[in-house]
Amino acid sequence: MSTSLTKMYIDTSSREIQVLSIGVLIALLLLPQFLTSYQTRLATAFLILLLFVVSYDLLIGYAGVLSFGHALPYGIGAYFLGLSLQGRLPFLAEGQLSFLAAVVIALIAVLLVMLVTGALALRTNGIYFAMVTLAFAQIGYIMMVELDSVTDGENGLFISFPDVFGYSLANVGNVYYLSLVCVVISYLLIRHLVKTPFGLVLRSIRQNEERAQFIGLDAYRFQLAAYTISGLFAGIAGMLFAISNTFITPDMLYWETSGDAIMMAIIGGIGTLWGPALGVAVTFVLEEVLSGMFLTAWPVFIGIFFVLVVMFIPGGLAGIIQNWRRTISIDDLKRRIER
């Protein structure tokens, strides 16, 4: 009866897509040369958000589990990076750690948090899973607020960054290029991942968990792996956010952070990687344009936009483009037959 949450992805290896991607990459590489420092900051924020939303899509679109708690790894990554650099973690004095060591600590923290919460949350499914993951992210939020002796609570945490390979992170351009490198590599890794057998297994579990179990695939284990991996990428996005902002607050872990990312992913169209990227771009541009005119009405506007997409174009913008390219997915066919 129910149609799956996502569409089949289209083959992105076609020539035009390749040309387009390389074009976009070159444009991104040259971008800071033409921008003011404010605009460069904006572009950096955009890249970070893009990684966060695409990592989310790995979970929702490919593994087919709707987590409402993706803000958790995002915030944990940022906080652990900041705390270890500031010497706020137990047994650490400030300046003891190199930047790379702090990154490793943050990644390990994200890994552990994701494994534990994932192992628990995946005992449930569907709606329960959405609620449980939301609750977990909220625990993280509460902890960052309550442990104010360590995290400075609601006042937020200021982070001073050492130079990395001789480059100062106070320079806007350097931060942009660091983000660009991380985001592009992460994106390519995720893209590779969904094409590997691992990605195929995830999609098969999403389409029919029972059958996948019958042919000997342990759904729980694969979904836990997807949950953890997507969390690691969200953690990287969180770290980049900390680097570019040098100031983080517990709000990073609040459920609105997850909610906004979900909205962008759905508007773009989940189940493809370029869809959510497009969704981020569209919402980002809209927000820039509209918030200048009426800042407070922005949430209402984006909410209405999102609801319309959910109701009338569940494939999102990517779905529209795919239909326009005359690629019809199995799901489309099923939906037509059901009607």
Partner 1 sequence: MSSTATIVSLLLNGLAFGMLYFLFASGLSLVFGLMGVVNFAHGALYMMGAYIGLLIYQQTFGTGLFIVAFLIAPFAVMGISMLIERFTLRHLYDVDILYQVLLTFGLAVILEGAFRLVFGPVTLSFPTPGLLKGSISFGGVIFPYYRLFVIIVGAIVAVALYLFLERTRYGLIARAGMMNRDMVEANGINIDRAYTFMFGIGGFLAGLSGIMAAPMFGVFPTMGHDLILLGFVIVVIGGLGSYKGSIVGALVVALAETYGNFFAPEIASVTLFALMVLVLLFKPSGMFGKPGVLAH
* Residue 156 lies near partner 1 (rule: CB under 8 A): no
* Residue 130 lies near partner 1 (rule: CB under 8 A): yes
Footprint on residues 59-78 left by partner 1 (CB under 8 A): 66
Segment contacting partner 1 (CB under 8 A): 36-44, 104-112, 136-144, 183-191?
136-144
* Residue 127 lies near partner 1 (rule: CB under 8 A): yes
* Residue 205 lies near partner 1 (rule: CB under 8 A): no
H or E element that contains 248: strand 247-248
* Residue 293 lies near partner 1 (rule: CB under 8 A): no
Segment contacting partner 1 (CB under 8 A): 120-128, 194-202, 229-237, 275-283?
120-128
- What's the min distance (Å) between Cβ of 283 and partner 1? 13
Beta carbons of 150 and 87 less than 8 angstroms apart? no
Write the binding mask 296 to 315 for partner 1: x where contact by CB under 8 A, - elsewhere: xxxxx-xxx-xx--xx--x-
Segment contacting partner 1 (CB under 8 A): 104-112, 129-137, 156-164, 185-193?
129-137
Beta carbons of 198 and 191 less than 8 angstroms apart? no
- Of the pair 322, 331, the CB lying nearest partner 1 is at 331
Beta carbons of 252 and 75 less than 8 angstroms apart? yes
Q: How far is CA 306 from CA 54, 145, 263, 267, in A?
A: 17, 30, 6, 6
Burial profile 317-337: b = 16 or more Cβ within 10 angstroms, e = fewer = bbbebbeeeeeebebbeeeee
> Residue 313 — φ and ψ, nearest 5°?
-130, 75
**If we measure between CA atoms, which residue out of 215, 86, 211 comes closest to residue 149?**
86
- Residue in this structure with the two tokens 């650490």, named with its chain if needed: 92
- Give the one residue of 53, 107, 132, 183 binding partner 1; rule: CB under 8 A: 132
**If we measure between CA atoms, which residue out of 265, 193, 273 comes closest to residue 232?**
193
Segment contacting partner 1 (CB under 8 A): 21-29, 130-138, 174-182, 272-280?
130-138
Binding site for partner 1 (CB under 8 A): 1-5, 66, 120-121, 123-128, 130-132, 134-136, 138-139, 142-143, 146, 255, 259, 262-263, 266, 296-300, 302-304, 306-307, 310-311, 314, 338
